[in-house]
Structures are given as C-alpha cells and as structure tokens.
Amino acid sequence: MNRILVAGLLVLAAGVYAQEPGRGRPGNWRFIGAEAGRPGPVVKNAPFSADVTTETTQVLADGNRIHRTSSQRLYRDSEGRTRREQSLESLGGLASNANLPPVVFINDPVAGVDYALSPASRTTTKTVRGNPPQLPGNAPGPGRRMARIQSAENPRTVKNEALGRQTIEGVAADGTRNTTIIPAGQVGNEQPIQIVTEAWYSPDLHVAVLIKRSDPRTGDTITRYTNINRSEPPHSLFEVPADYKISESAGPAPRPPSK
C-alpha cells in the first residue's frame, strides 16, 4: 500500500512540476523578477496609448541574417505616468524561444515610485525614485538631442536634414535624417562607417513615432508606434492591483566615489 502511495505522490509531483513553464528543464530560460531601471523624462498633458514594435535585421558577412523583434503596449496619462506592458516571449530579441511571462513597468513621477509587475506570479517590485528630469515645453526632439551628443564626438561628420511633416498613425510628425560618418581608422575601421537615423517626432506626443536606424555594425532597426490612441488611459492602469505582493527595491546605488 505504501508503494502505491509513494508512486502516486511522485506522479503528482512530476505533473505539477512539469506544468511550471521553463522550470528545471535544461536549456530553458526562467523568469526571476524585474525592476524599473531608470525612467525617461516626464511628459505631462500628452496622454496616449500605443503599440510599440521594434524589428532589427542584421546581415552577416556570409549572407546569414539575424532578425529580432520586440513588442510592447505603452500608456501615458496627463500627469506623466507611464505603463509599459513588455512581452518577454523573445526577451527583447535575445532568444526567440525564451517564452517568458510578460512584465509590466509603471513609472509614477507623481508619487515618485516605479513598479515592475509580474502578472504571472502577482508580485511587484517597488522602487522609490528621486525626481526624474522634466521635459520642458520647448524641449528638443530626439534628433536634436542626438545631434548635440554627437557634435562632441570629433572628428565624426554629422549631417542633419529636415524631412518635413507627415501624418503617421494619425498624428503629425516632423522628420529628421541624421547622418553620422565615422572616418576610416577612427575605431579601427578600414573604410568610413555611415550611420543613418531617420526619426519622425510628434510634437504633440513628445515621442518619435517612427525611427529607422541603419548602422552597418548593428544592422537595420525600425521602431514603430501603431494603434495610437490619444484619449486619457484609465487611472487604474497606473496602480498596482490590490492582490499583488509588493517588495521594495533598494533603489539605485550611488556611484562609488573615485579613490
């Protein structure tokens, strides 16, 4: 009788064990947790929601191709809170078969806290932040900011072109094309390297709704905002559900003093 019981227990344990995604199986990824890392600038009075997809294609020297994709759903309310529903099926393009559960990042500059929610385990990591940078009304778009950074990188050649205004996914967007040339020998390269970034920046949303970047070192990358909805997202999206267990993060570590 005891043998039957022991066998039953083992079968039951094996069944339950096998139902946990990725657990204990060699070669698989396993999700442990998440943490909001560093919030971007706060943008107020420009609420929206959108799907954000990024595709990267790199052609290797032998003709082989590496194609990576990532998708997320992004929300922002009028107070500048953001919610990022990140699919981890490919873990940001790292592994096409990672098949990890999704994670949700909430940045709440009003409360000064960030959350990383794991809906699968109904847990969240809370991080208390200082005040993130505010995006002023006349803040430059990504193209101008990029140009400012790159202008300090002599002796690279930078060229900026205005591409006019287009309506992309229902919003007006100003296009800029930024061309950076790394001269031969700058990074050990025999020939000049040309990097072209085309960004379509929405002054209403304060985001680039379409970015195309071509860099021979990293391949071609396209980031698209689609299904843009400019209505105010429900406030509940920026709150942690009541049944989630919250653990506190130690927060960002200060930079060690140089000795």
Partner 1 sequence: MNCQEFWNTAPQPGAEAEVHLASHLAECPACATKWEHQRALAAGLRLVAEEWRSVEAPARVEAGLTAAFRAQKGFERRPARSSWWMPVLAWASAAAAMVVVSLFLVRGWQPTAEPRVPLAAPQRTGPVTLEFAAQEQDGGAPADMEDDSSGLGNDFIRLPNAARIEPNEDVNLVRVEVPRSTLIALGLTVSEDRTSDSVLADVVLGSDGMARAVRVVDEGGSLE
Among residue numbers 135 through 174, which ones bind partner 1 (CB under 8 A)? 142, 145-146, 149-150, 152-153
Q: Does 37 bind partner 1 (CB under 8 A)?
A: yes
| Whole-Å CA distances, 215 to 41, 57, 151, 162, 185 | 26, 10, 18, 20, 17
- Using CB under 8 A as the binding criterion, the count of chain residues that bind partner 1 stands at 87
Regarding 202 and contact with partner 1 (CB under 8 A), the answer is: no
Q: Does 49 bind partner 1 (CB under 8 A)?
A: no
Residues 77-116 that bind partner 1 (CB under 8 A): 82, 84, 86-88, 91-95, 98, 100, 103, 105, 107, 116
Cis omega (within 30 of 0) for bond into 155: yes
Closer by beta carbon to partner 1, 19 or else 236: 19
Selected range binding partner 1 among 31-39, 164-172, 198-206, 226-234, rule: CB under 8 A? 31-39
- In the block, tokens 């929405």 appear at 202
Query: Hey, which residues does 192 pair with through a beta bridge?
Result: none
> Strand pairing partners for 219?
215
Q: Is 183 in the site for partner 1 (CB under 8 A)?
A: no
Contact range with partner 1 by CB under 8 A, out of 4-12, 159-167, 171-179, 234-242: 4-12
| 248 sits near partner 1 (criterion: CB under 8 A) | yes
- Is 7 strand, coil or helix? helix
CB of 162 to partner 1, least distance (A): 21
The 3-state secondary structure of 231-244 reads CCCCHHHHCCCCCC
Among 63, 136, 164, 257, binds partner 1 (CB under 8 A): 257
200 within 8 A of 226, measured Cβ to Cβ = no
Q: 10 Å Cβ neighbour count for 88? A: 19
Q: Does 72 bind partner 1 (CB under 8 A)?
A: yes
**Is the CB of 89 or the CB of 174 nearer to partner 1?**
89
Minimum Å gap between C-beta 126 and partner 1 is 9
Q: Under the criterion CB under 8 A, does residue 235 sit at the interface with partner 1? A: no
Where residue 128 falls (left for φ over 0; alpha for ψ -120 to 50; beta otherwise) is: beta
Which CA distances in Å does 120 have to 67, 83, 100? 28, 17, 10
Which of 79, 169, 174, 215 touches partner 1 by CB under 8 A? 215
